Structure 1
Amino acid sequence: MQQFEPIAALATAPGIGAIAVVRVSGEGAIDITNRIFKGKDLSTQPSHTAHFGTLRQPDGTLIDEVLVTVFRAPTSFTKEDVVEISCHGSDYIIRQILTRLTREGVRLARPGEFTQRAFLNGQFDLVQAEAVADLIAADSEASHRSALSQLRGGFSRKLKDLRQQLIDFVALVELELDFGEEDVEFARRDQLRSLMVDVRRVLHPLIESFSVGNAVKNGVPTVIVGKPNAGKSTLLNALLDEEKAIVSDIPGTTRDVIEDELFIDGIRFRLIDTAGLRHTTDTIEAIGVERTRQQMEKASVVVYLFDGAETTPGELRRTIAELEEAGKPYLLVGNKADLTLDSGRQTLDDIAGKGKIIWISARDQRIDELKAALSLRVRTDSAVQTDGALITNARHLEHLTATDEALARAINGLDAGVTADWLAMDLRVALRHLGELTGEITTDDLLDSIFGRFCIGK
């Protein structure tokens, strides 16, 4: 465990409130707080205990009545001595406490410095440290669950075990280089190949999960498209339960992108209503149609809405072919189910395949099946089959991809019978990226970049 100078910061959100918490961590944190605290002698109190008393200025002037909680190293968040001072949530009181602490030798903390110390002291690895920020920022059940999984170890524990096995093999390969003239083989090539295949088998679903994980973290981009007057704006209003978009019988009313958010089963969806897809000579509407196509390219899910009472079998076939060619996950949604004849629905169902069309009535807000389908689409996406671990961070994706590419080169080299020095070179690259991912290999610039994005007090 490293020893650091004491630091302090407001750990709760800034602003006036009933309660605020000032956190102090580092060498001497308990003794320093004890010098300005009037109550029990904090230096003799056991860890994880709370004590009522007052904080005072050097001349005895009362600052506030407080509750001080003591956490002794190494059983605190930072693995250092930590004190948390719960006071009244007045900006003035908070300033007075922080000023009083700085006069006793405490430094104001930088953004993310408490979590950075926890990482440097071995409380968790770098992936888990980054998950702390994601957990604080989580605004949906899905993003909360993903961050919590990473905070508890998630995929990093498995990667650490595999990395250690790779290290053992690399050591044997490196040893062979010392006996190059003797033509000896310490690392069994069949076992090494099997291990590299196993590592890649773990990496692939994690890499593939990034598109879903990033969407879960930032909201799943969901584009509502279809021909003019299919009911897209009515559907958006029904999903949001408010009059967000203008609804009109005049085709082409929506000419720009309209966006809002919706939570379904704890998943945040970024709903995007777009201009109707059709050929038009109207310059403004044509721009809207082009923006619709751009949004489809960026979407994670495309909701294609069509008028069940007006759409012909030929039109539906062409639509399905275009959606398949686009290669985006999509849901076929038949609107105006209340106005569609049973025979017409049967024909369209036969074309799309049984159960492929979700029938709704946006005007009557009969949309529960669509909500369930959207939730199911995200939860059962093939990229999510990673034992609950999702990649939500671009830095993680970069290192996982680089590791996979290095191992692929090593496997190809092994099959081609390359010498040990070439093999060792690719294995070293793979190990470096795995180490940088979990923080076993770090630079000051990397740590400053990661923890600088945290809020002060965390």
Structure 2
Amino acid sequence: MTSLQLEPIAALATAPGIGAIAVIRVSGEGAIEVTNRLFKGKDLTQQPSHTAHFGLLRNPDGSIIDEVLATVFRAPKSFTKEDVVEISCHGSEFIIRQILNRLMQEGVRLARPGEFTQRAFLNGQFDLVQAEAVADLIAADSEASHRAALTQLRGGFSKQLKALRQQLIDFVALVELELDFGEEDVEFAKRDQLRGLMQDIRRVLRPLIDSFTTGNAIKNGVPTVIVGKPNAGKSTLLNALLNEEKAIVSDIPGTTRDVIEDELFIDGIRFRLIDTAGLRQTTDTIEAIGVERTQQKMRDASLVVYLFDGVNVTPDELQDAILEVRASGKPYLLVGNKADATPDAKRQTLNEVVGEPVVWISAKDAQIDELKAALSARVRTDATVQTGSAVVTNARHLEHLVGTDDALAHAISGLDAGISADWLAMDLRLALKHLGELTGEITTDDLLDSIFSRFCIGK
């Protein structure tokens, strides 16, 4: 693809605010020439790509704005595949404004949010899934979210889907050809081969669709709700996990009447911890609202930590509580508190009643290492987290993956029912449309504006 050289744009590429260094990016037709008119040093127009040059930036009257380092990137070997100059200056807000003003005086336009990445996409640097991964990579605040974004940026699932889409296009062309010979009852697209291809595509799609729950949790944090009876030690546990007095701790049952949330990183995974009101029947109106919110948080959570008091709980009470947790349908961990004060015999009895692993802790003494390890392991049991395989973290991607899968499922059902080529072609076109919009091979200006407007300015 031939690179477009659009009008030159400029923006601050580093975070705004005072700092030691700031980088201003200039990209587009004449970017090197425009920068060179302000630059006192080597002639930038004569310098090879990927070279950095020290010099001065001056005002029209000759006064110095700053000492800078100008790095030249010539098309198409740049991020945007256009001519690019990155100006490294001192991180003074005044200096940054002066440089941007001088560039605008020379005909450079201030870039819109995400416009550099949008130009990179339009110039074929990467597809739309990879372009969106740039924003995810910038926003990544954990090892897992960084790994997921990097996998997408390096091609992820989009390259595989593009290859399968091309094969499907070839079949659609044959089906369309059959329509031109409708009266002659010819079959150019072998139905068994077409069915096999659609099944192959669905085998790729289904794990990606199923990965969204994990992917969304990786990107936004794993919503982890701590539930249990009043005085089980939920607030004490939250404080121990966060290593601060976040929640009020009291021997009085029902102290926590609203949800308390904070974040914790364990082994590179971000957990959104939610402390809740104790689960029990109550006549207290305010506490009842808190219990209802607890139940709602359980429904919304990706992981439930059920905490029980090993000293005071009875086997029957624990059995009833576990049935309630299981009924939520959410992944859960069973955590026994007050391990130091619970007799070994009772711990063994409770373990046998539960019939599944129990993590024993002492929240008051912050003896919670086993729980942290269990939380990490519970998330990492997903193969996509273990292997670094592509996961879906974007709701737009999920929408088109599901749309493609539905269209292909409908087409396969149609083949089994012996539908005509024109109806089959409609389902195949819909599948192609979803795949094309996913990777950016089919786009609209509104779609691109919506995606790239969410990027930061300068990227």
Q: TM-score, normalised by structure 2?
A: 0.98
* Structure 2 CA distance for aligned equivalents of residues 260 and 379 of structure 1: 21
> Following superposition of structure 1 onto structure 2, how do residues 403-442 of structure 1 map, counting pairs within 5 Å?
403-442=404-443
Asked whether the 8 Å contact 2:39–2:57 carries over to 1, the reply is yes
Q: For residue 337 of structure 1, give the secondary structure of its aligned residue in structure 2.
A: coil
**CA 387–204 in structure 1, closer or farther in 2 if over 3 Å, else same:** farther
The amino acid of 2:358's aligned partner reads I
Pairwise CA RMSD: 1.2
Asked whether the 8 Å contact 2:239–2:246 carries over to 1, the reply is yes
* Structure 2 CA distance for aligned equivalents of residues 373 and 169 of structure 1: 49
The amino acid of 2:20's aligned partner reads A
Asked whether the 8 Å contact 2:66–2:95 carries over to 1, the reply is yes
Superimposed CA distance per residue, residues 66-111 of structure 1 (whole angstroms, 9 cap, x where no aligned partner): 0000000001000000000001111111111111111111111111
Q: For residue 340 of structure 2, give the secondary structure of its aligned residue in structure 1.
A: helix
1:367 aligns with 2:384: no
* More displaced 10-residue stretch of structure 1: 185-194 or 68-77: 185-194
The amino acid of 2:97's aligned partner reads R
* Structure 1 CA distance for aligned equivalents of residues 8 and 248 of structure 2: 58
* Structure 1 CA distance for aligned equivalents of residues 211 and 318 of structure 2: 31
> Following superposition of structure 1 onto structure 2, how do residues 16-415 of structure 1 map, counting pairs within 5 Å?
16-354=18-356, 356-381=357-382, 388-415=389-416
Superimposed CA distance per residue, residues 11-47 of structure 1 (whole angstroms, 9 cap, x where no aligned partner): 1111111111110000110111111111011111110
* More displaced 10-residue stretch of structure 1: 65-74 or 383-392: 383-392
Superimposed CA distance per residue, residues 396-441 of structure 1 (whole angstroms, 9 cap, x where no aligned partner): 1111111110001000001111011111100000000000000000
* Structure 1 CA distance for aligned equivalents of residues 396 and 161 of structure 2: 15
* Structure 1 CA distance for aligned equivalents of residues 387 and 199 of structure 2: 17
**CA 404–385 in structure 1, closer or farther in 2 if over 3 Å, else same:** farther
Asked whether the 8 Å contact 1:338–1:361 carries over to 2, the reply is yes
* Structure 2 CA distance for aligned equivalents of residues 10 and 395 of structure 1: 28
* Structure 2 CA distance for aligned equivalents of residues 399 and 454 of structure 1: 21
* Structure 1 CA distance for aligned equivalents of residues 106 and 384 of structure 2: 53
Q: For residue 445 of structure 1, give the secondary structure of its aligned residue in structure 2.
A: helix
* Structure 2 CA distance for aligned equivalents of residues 387 and 86 of structure 1: 35
Compute the displacement of 1:3 (Å).
Answer: 2.1
* Structure 2 CA distance for aligned equivalents of residues 163 and 29 of structure 1: 37
- Please list every run of 5 or more consecutive structure 1 residues that lacks an aligned counterpart in the other structure: none
* Structure 1 CA distance for aligned equivalents of residues 45 and 111 of structure 2: 23
* Structure 1 CA distance for aligned equivalents of residues 259 and 333 of structure 2: 19
Superimposed CA distance per residue, residues 189-216 of structure 1 (whole angstroms, 9 cap, x where no aligned partner): 1111111111111111111111111111
The amino acid of 1:97's aligned partner reads I
The amino acid of 2:235's aligned partner reads S
* Structure 2 CA distance for aligned equivalents of residues 195 and 359 of structure 1: 50
Superimposed CA distance per residue, residues 302-329 of structure 1 (whole angstroms, 9 cap, x where no aligned partner): 0000011122111222122222221011
**CA 454–101 in structure 1, closer or farther in 2 if over 3 Å, else same:** same
Compute the displacement of 1:384 (Å).
Answer: 5.5
Q: For residue 363 of structure 1, give the secondary structure of its aligned residue in structure 2.
A: helix
The amino acid of 2:389's aligned partner reads G
Compute the displacement of 1:353 (Å).
Answer: 2.2
* Structure 1 CA distance for aligned equivalents of residues 18 and 243 of structure 2: 33
The amino acid of 2:448's aligned partner reads L
Q: For residue 315 of structure 1, give the secondary structure of its aligned residue in structure 2.
A: helix
Aligned identity (percent) is: 81
* Structure 1 CA distance for aligned equivalents of residues 457 and 388 of structure 2: 33
* Structure 1 CA distance for aligned equivalents of residues 329 and 337 of structure 2: 23
Alignment partner, residue 455 of structure 1: 456
Asked whether the 8 Å contact 1:20–1:89 carries over to 2, the reply is yes
Superimposed CA distance per residue, residues 232-264 of structure 1 (whole angstroms, 9 cap, x where no aligned partner): 011001100111111111111111111110000
* More displaced 10-residue stretch of structure 1: 318-327 or 396-405: 318-327
* Structure 2 CA distance for aligned equivalents of residues 417 and 384 of structure 1: 42
Q: For residue 65 of structure 1, give the secondary structure of its aligned residue in structure 2.
A: strand
The amino acid of 1:256's aligned partner reads D
Asked whether the 8 Å contact 2:232–2:308 carries over to 1, the reply is yes
The amino acid of 1:46's aligned partner reads P
Q: For residue 77 of structure 2, give the secondary structure of its aligned residue in structure 1.
A: coil
* Structure 2 CA distance for aligned equivalents of residues 167 and 328 of structure 1: 40
The amino acid of 2:400's aligned partner reads H
**CA 93–387 in structure 1, closer or farther in 2 if over 3 Å, else same:** closer
* Structure 1 CA distance for aligned equivalents of residues 422 and 226 of structure 2: 55
Asked whether the 8 Å contact 1:205–1:386 carries over to 2, the reply is no
Asked whether the 8 Å contact 2:235–2:249 carries over to 1, the reply is yes
Compute the displacement of 1:383 (Å).
Answer: 7.1
Asked whether the 8 Å contact 1:227–1:276 carries over to 2, the reply is yes
Superimposed CA distance per residue, residues 263-291 of structure 1 (whole angstroms, 9 cap, x where no aligned partner): 00011101000000000111111111011
* More displaced 10-residue stretch of structure 1: 159-168 or 427-436: 159-168
Compute the displacement of 1:381 (Å).
Answer: 2.9
Q: TM-score, normalised by structure 1?
A: 0.98
The amino acid of 1:304's aligned partner reads Y
Asked whether the 8 Å contact 1:396–1:437 carries over to 2, the reply is yes
* Structure 2 CA distance for aligned equivalents of residues 348 and 456 of structure 1: 57
